[in-house]
Chain A
Amino acid sequence: MALAVTASIALAACTNTPSTGTSPSPGVSASASPAAGTFTRGQGGELKILYWQAPTILNTHQATGTKDYDASRLIQEPLASWGVDGKPAANGLAKEIPTVANGGVSSDFTTVTWKLIDGLKWSDGTAVTADDVVFTSKYMADEATADPNSDFMTGVKSVVATNPTTVTVTYSAPTANPYQFGTGGGNEILQKAQFEKCLGAKASECPENLKTIGTGPYKLTEFKSGDVVTYEINTNYRDAKKPFFKTVQFKGGGDALSAARAVFQTGDVDYGWNLQVEAPVLKSLIQGSTKGDYLGKASSNVERVNVNFANPDPALGDQRSEPTTKHPFFNGPDGLIVRQALAMATDRATIGDQLYGNGLTGTSTCNQLLGNDDWTSKNTASMSVCKFDVAAANKLLDDNGWAKGSDGVRAKGGIKLSVLFATTVNTLRQKEQDILKANWEAIGFKVELRSISAGVFFSNAADGANRFYYDLSMFTNGSTPDITGYMAGWTTKQIAQKSNNWNQNNYHRYSNPAYDAIVEQMRTTTDQTKLNQLGIQANDILIKDVVVIPLVNRFQVASGKSKTLQGTNLNPWDSEMWNIADWYKTP
């Protein structure tokens, strides 16, 4: 305890985080000053990080997956991070988080002024200026450059350098999320001098992507794409006391189970990422471990069953699953009743307990919008569709004339309750499918299961989740701190269909004017409390209407660290490496 107290005092004295000045103002993360130890730069030896997916590129603006974002984050930094509580935290290039209170955000919520830390340098010794930030915004917005993070520039009218250390971001409309550009993973600032020649069609093949210069605590020593990254201390890092480790090795490849063994059993590595192995196996590895600790943190990620409102019948040919068609029983006259029965027969508690270890890698949930208590609905728990009740589900179908045939399958007017239920190939998911199949067959559904390789399932192929040529699907995603963008994924505008090459998020083909109106209201709301309430309303509609059947809140962070590694601060909203400058080791 004494150590912790001295640690926090030492931190307050040396850190750049605005823990004293701005933290009381609303909207700024209280987690801005993470717990850190007293140490000096380079005091430690080598830090070994293991990801079972190998980083292939070291520039988040050409990244292809989490592994690239995380491996780059040791080098590249955004203006600010998303804190543990989903609010911006000043551990990036910005001196402080702009708020209305400190004048950084205009009162009409259209302009944000970011001030860079004074004397900030790139690892090559040159000065970081507002021009670099402006350049980064251009890089992100340029269509030919095809930055995967370009959505952060949507609605941004301009990014202007008002002086060498000040950047003004103007949004085309008032926004509840003035931090959209500049905050969190995907907004890492590029060095203009390095990437100037990498704009446009040649951006992806630009060799600079593999030797990015940054401002982070570490700089690149050697990169073997698809294998390993080694780093050394960035001697120009702004905090003279950090980082602790002399070198870092970021190894990729292999599988989650042996990565878990390396953390918990052999202690070969200090940090192992995303150890998503089956809960009973993980539990046994953790319990006996003298080497490692498990790090699990709830997030906004929801594993859920998606209902198709359109008709996936192959006989329809071109019109298959187009929004103009209607699903024979999920969207017929009894649509809501059939969907409700399906939801009531879903045993999410068993899935959460047996497969996710009830709080180990996930917990069962009946909400679609999660991640922060402020926007998590408390209304759904009492809804009948969230209660596992086979008898009630059977009764509902009986009462509405869906009678069981000789094969045990319910039908009405010649329409049989026969569903095709697809998800990705994954041991855990196939077990979930088995449980759900048993659940739904108990109330007279006929369930055919299909598992599709993830690369195909998440593509535009005929078997892709967005084409939805089946009745039910299952996968996980979650909201960012910008909940409006997430909830917009169920609006009529975003219905995935042939005409937009299925490139929209509303896979369900769900269309509800009342829902659309709520999201429209969210877009124009700048008051966070009001926004949260609207988010809850939108969530409640999705659940009540059984557009989705949420199963489990899957943990974003499910990593492991050696018992001696300290300072990690689990963050479901940003890269797990967001505060790597604060990591250290006890002997």
Chain B
Amino acid sequence: MGRYIIRRLLIAIPTLLVISFVVYAILALAPGDPLSQFATNPNVPPEVRERIREQLGLNQPWHIRYVKWLLALVKGDFGYSFMSHLPVINLLIERLPNTLAVVGVAYVLGVALAVPIGMISAVKRYSIFDHLATTFAFIGFSVPTFFTGLLLIILFSINLHWFPFIYDSTLKVRDFASLIDQMKQSIMPIIVLALFDTATLARYIRAEMLEHLPLDYVRTARGKGIAERLVVVRHVLRNSLIPVVTLVALGVPAVFAGAIVTEQIFRVPGIGELLIRSINDSDTPVVAAIVFLFAVLVVLFNLIADVLYAVLDPRIRYA
């Protein structure tokens, strides 16, 4: 097992190198100008823009910029943002808590809801609950988040005035009242995201359970006289969850990448919001850093998923 992990980690190095090159090349070759906001400002003539471009190092050919960026990256330096003039890593650290507080919580909530919903739907197949859950699941993953987001805003913020739709990242949870405020401002984005996560996962769990329910070992368990509840929870659910665990692990990197649309709509200053704004502003160092870190997480969680698979399923052995 240990050797397997080491081998996988070593393979990850060339993979990440290739990813970093492709990411940087695409960003460098994409048209766009971090100074485009100045284009119609008569106080900032084109020569001045050129001088700023030079200062940002944009006048060098992109392959040289790539090598410089990569060398700095090896030392853990992600460079400076063109827009904030701040080290990129500081920006990410500042935003990660907001993303985790919204996207992370939504993910945990999604998983926590999906397991019982999927399970009950499978056991009570074609019951009213199953039909409701199925309808809910289809709504959940077919209605886009920008739509559900706007719907919630119009309903709960504009008509009912219950929740604010402008996320206040300066709010610090100190006491009960501020905890309520924090819940009020994050509940809508969490619902939007959790709806989607729950829907997909619940369908998946239901399908897995249905596959396992008619199998021989289940019949054996029942035959042994084990109570139906225990059969479902101990035997069927446990076996059905093996592929689900992989799926959940593979979804974790997406949590760290934030939710681009939802964060934008609710003005949650998270990683996703930073990514989309940086793309619009051609803030290459930030985009490169986020995409590269995302690649690292994907590679890492793929490995974790594979290892977990072996741990959960004794039939699988890595030599």
Contact surface of A with B, Cβ cutoff 8 Å: 50, 54, 56-57, 62, 64-66, 143-144, 146-152, 186, 201, 203-206, 209-210, 222, 224-228, 230, 249, 251, 253-255, 258, 261-262, 265-266, 268-269, 453-466, 475-480, 485-486, 489, 496, 501-505
Query: In whole angstroms, what is the CA distance A64 to B80 when docked?
Result: 14
> Which chain A residue lies CB-closest to B153?
A258
Write out, one digit per residue, whether chain B residues 247-272 have a CB within 8 A of any chain A CB (1) or not (0).
00000000000000000110101000
Question: Chain B at the A interface: mostly helix, strand, loop or mixed?
Answer: loop
Which chain A residues lie closer than 8 Å to B306 at the CB level? none
- Enumerate chain A residues within 8 angstroms of B165, measured Cβ to Cβ: 258, 262, 266, 268
Contact call B33/A258, Cβ cutoff below 8 A: no
A-B contact count (CB 8 A): 179
Task: Tell me whether A201 and B55 are in contact in the complex, defined as CB-CB below 8 angstroms, given that A251-B166, A254-B264, A258-B153 are known contacts.
Answer: yes
Chain B residues lying within 8 Å of A454, measured Cβ to Cβ, are 36
With the chains together, A489 CA to B168 CA distance in Å? 43
User: Which residue of chain B is the closest to A465 with respect to CB atoms?
Assistant: B39
Which residues of the partner chain B approach A461 to less than 8 Å between Cβ atoms?
31-33
Neighbouring B residues of A268 by C-beta, 8 Å: 157, 164-166
Assembly CA distance A262 to B37 (angstroms) = 25
**Could you give 12 example pairs across A and B, Cβ below 8 Å?**
A149-B43, A228-B169, A258-B165, A266-B161, A455-B281, A459-B32, A459-B33, A461-B32, A478-B42, A486-B42, A489-B42, A503-B45
Could you say which residues of chain A place their CB within 8 Å of the CB of B37? Answer: 64-66, 458
Given A149-B44, A253-B264, A261 contacting B158 (CB threshold 8 A): yes
Q: Contact check: which of B32, B265, B269 meets A224 at CB < 8 Å? A: B269
A147 vs B51: C-alpha distance in the bound complex, in angstroms?
Answer: 9
Cross-chain contact A148 with B166 (CB below 8 angstroms): no
Q: How far, in angstroms, from A161 to B52 measured CA to CA in the complex?
A: 28
The verdict on A56 contacting B84 (CB below 8 Å), with A50-B166, A503-B46 known, is: yes
B170 at the interface (CB under 8 A from A): yes
Which residue of chain B lies nearest to A204 when distances are taken between CB atoms in the complex? B85
Flag if B269 contacts A228 (CB, 8 Å).
Answer: yes
Please indicate the chain A residues that have their CB under 8 angstroms from the CB of B267 in the complex.
251, 253-254
**Could you list 15 further interchain pairs (A-B, Cβ under 8 angstroms) beyond the known A146-B51, A224-B94, A458-B33?**
A50-B166, A149-B43, A206-B85, A210-B85, A225-B84, A226-B91, A249-B168, A251-B267, A253-B277, A258-B153, A458-B39, A459-B35, A463-B31, A504-B46, A505-B46
Q: Which residue of B lies closest to A502 (CB)?
A: B46
The answer to whether A459 and B31 have CB atoms under 8 Å apart is yes
Question: Which B residues between 134 and 189 are near A, CB-CB below 8 angstroms?
Answer: 153, 157-158, 161, 164-166, 168-170
CB distance from B271 to the nearest CB of A (A): 11
Contacts of A255 in B (CB 8 A): 264
Contact A455 B33 (CB under 8 A): yes
The yes or no answer to B130 lying at the interface (CB within 8 A) is no
A455-B277 in contact given A143-B51, A226-B91 (Cβ < 8 Å): no
The CA of A99 and the CA of B52, in the complex, are separated in Å by 34
* Chain B stretch 169-218: residues in CB contact (< 8 A) with chain A: 169-170
Chain A residue numbers with a CB within 8 Å of B39 are 457-459, 465
Given A146-B54, A254-B267, A266-B161, is A222 in contact with B49 using a C-beta cutoff of 8 Å? no
Q: Closest Cβ of chain A: how far from B151's Cβ, in Å?
A: 13
Name which residue of chain A comes closest to B45, CB basis.
A151
Question: B277, A205: Cβ atoms under 8 Å?
Answer: no
Question: Which of B51, B85, B95, B280 contacts A62 (CB under 8 A)?
Answer: B85
Bound CA span A228–B41, Å: 24
Q: Tell me whether B34 is interfacial, beta carbon within 8 Å.
A: yes
Among B48, B84, B169, B269, chain A packs the most CB atoms within 10 A around the CB of B84
- Give min CB distance, B168 to chain A, whole Å: 7
Contact of A476 among B33, B40, B51, B269 (CB under 8 A): B40
Query: Which residues from B are CB-within-8-Å of A466?
Result: 46
Q: How far is the CB of A229 from chain B (nearest CB, A)?
A: 9
Contact A503 B47 (CB under 8 A): yes
Partner of B85, one of A151, A205, A477: A205
Q: Is residue B228 contacting chain A, with contact meaning CB distance below 8 A?
A: no
Asked if residues A227 and B269 are in contact (CB atoms below 8 Å), the reply is yes
Distance (whole angstroms) from the CB of A204 to the closest CB of chain B: 5
Query: Nearest-CB distance from B149 to chain A (Å)?
Result: 10
* Interface: B56 (CB within 8 A): yes
Complex-state Cα separation, A46 to B280, whole angstroms: 31
Residue of A nearest to B47 (CB): A503
Question: Which residues of chain B are within 8 angstroms of A54 by Cβ–Cβ distance?
Answer: 269, 277
